[in-house]
Amino acid sequence: MRIFLPLLKSSASSSRWISRQQKDPYVKSRISSKGKDNFSYRSRSSFKLISLINKHPNLLHSNSNSNSNSDNFKVIVDLGAAPGGWTQVISNLSLKFNLDLKIFALDLLNIEPIKNVNIIKGDFLSEKIRNELKIQINNHNNNNNEKEKEQIEIVDTILSDMMSPMTGNRIRDVQLSLQLCQIANLFARNTLKIAKQGEEILKIGNKRIFPGGNLVMKFFAHPDMDEFRSTELDPWFSKVVVEKPKESRAESSEAYWVCLGYKGDPATR
Ligand SMILES: C[S@@+](CC[C@H](N)C(=O)[O-])C[C@H]1O[C@@H](n2cnc3c(N)ncnc32)[C@H](O)[C@@H]1O
C-alpha cells in the first residue's frame, strides 16, 4: 500500500491543478482569445504583463534620450520569456501602436519564433550568454565602439518573469529567486538608459513618465527581498513599486517590482 502513496499524492495534486486551470478565467480567456487571425496568447502570464503595462505606460513609452543611434527606436529585453506570452504582448502592442521596438527574448527553453523578435536560448546566469545578449543588442544599435560593448546603456525596458523550478523548500526557492533578481539587476545597470540631469518627467494622462530605462522583476515575498529592494533598487530608480497583478494567483507569494526611471549609481550623481 505504502508504495502507491507518492503516486496517489501526485495524482491528487494533478487533479487539483486541472480543476484550478479549468476554473481560472485567465486560462479560459487565453484559450478563447483567438481572433479572426486565429491568435491566442501562449501563456496565462500574458495577462499579468498587460495589467502592468496598463498601470505603468512608462514600460512601453520610456522618454529617455541617449546619444546613441537608439534614439529612433526602443529596446525591450524579455528574460525568462518561454513559451513567449509576454513577448507576444510586446510584439502585438508594437504593431498596434506602430512603435519601433527592438525586442530580445531569452530563455533556457525553446521559444517558437515570434515576428520581429530576436530569440536567444541559454542560461541567463551564464556570463557567456549575457555577453551574447549584449552583443546582439549592440549589433542592432550599429555600435562598433569596443569600449562601449560592455556598458551599452541603450535598453529602455528589461522584463524578467524568470523563475527557477520550485523545489518546495521555501528558503531555497527564495534564494534562487533572489539570485535571478541580483543578476538581472546587474545586467540592467550595464544596459539601461540613464536619465540625464535636467531631463523632464512627461505625462500620459495622469501617469508620470520618468526619464531613464525601466526594470520589471518577479520575486517571492521575503524579508531578504525587502532588503534587496531598499539597498539595490530604490536608490537607483526614480520610483519602485510592488505590484501583484490581479491575474497572479492569490495563494502564490510571487509579486513584481516595477522600477521606473533608471538614474544610475547614486554614488556618482
Ligand atoms: C513563468 S515562466 C515565464 C513565462 C513567460 N513570461 C510567458 O509569458 O510566456 C519562467 C521562465 O523562466 C525561465 N528561466 C528560469 N531560470 C532561467 C535562467 N537562469 N535563464 C533563462 N531562463 C530562465 C524558465 O525556463 C521559464 O520559461
pTM, 2 dp: 0.85
Do 114 and 226 fall into the same domain? yes
**Domain encompassing residue 16:** 1-35
Do 23 and 50 fall into the same domain? no
Residue showing cell 539601461: 192
Do 156 and 262 fall into the same domain? yes
State the CATH number of the domain containing residue 208: 3.40.50.150
pLDDT tens for each residue of 155-188: 999 999 999 998 989 999 999 999 999 999 999 9
pLDDT tens for each residue of 196-206: 888 888 887 88
Do 69 and 108 fall into the same domain? yes
Cα of 219 from ligand 1 centre, angstroms: 13
Do 170 and 218 fall into the same domain? yes
Cβ atoms 257, 219 nearer than 8 A: yes
Do 190 and 243 fall into the same domain? yes
Closest CA to 102 of 77, 66, 67, 133: 77
From 108, 178, 248, 256, give the residue whose CB has the most ligand 1 atoms within 8 Å, as the site to mutate: 108
pLDDT tens for each residue of 107-127: 999 999 999 999 999 999 999
pLDDT at residue 149 is higher than 60: no
Do 147 and 78 fall into the same domain? yes
pLDDT at residue 140 is higher than 80: no
The verdict on the CB of residue 195 being under 6 Å from ligand 1 is no
Do 17 and 140 fall into the same domain? no
Catalytic, 244? Answer: no
Closest CA to 263 of 243, 230, 238, 227: 238
Cβ atoms 162, 123 nearer than 8 A: no
Do 107 and 146 fall into the same domain? yes
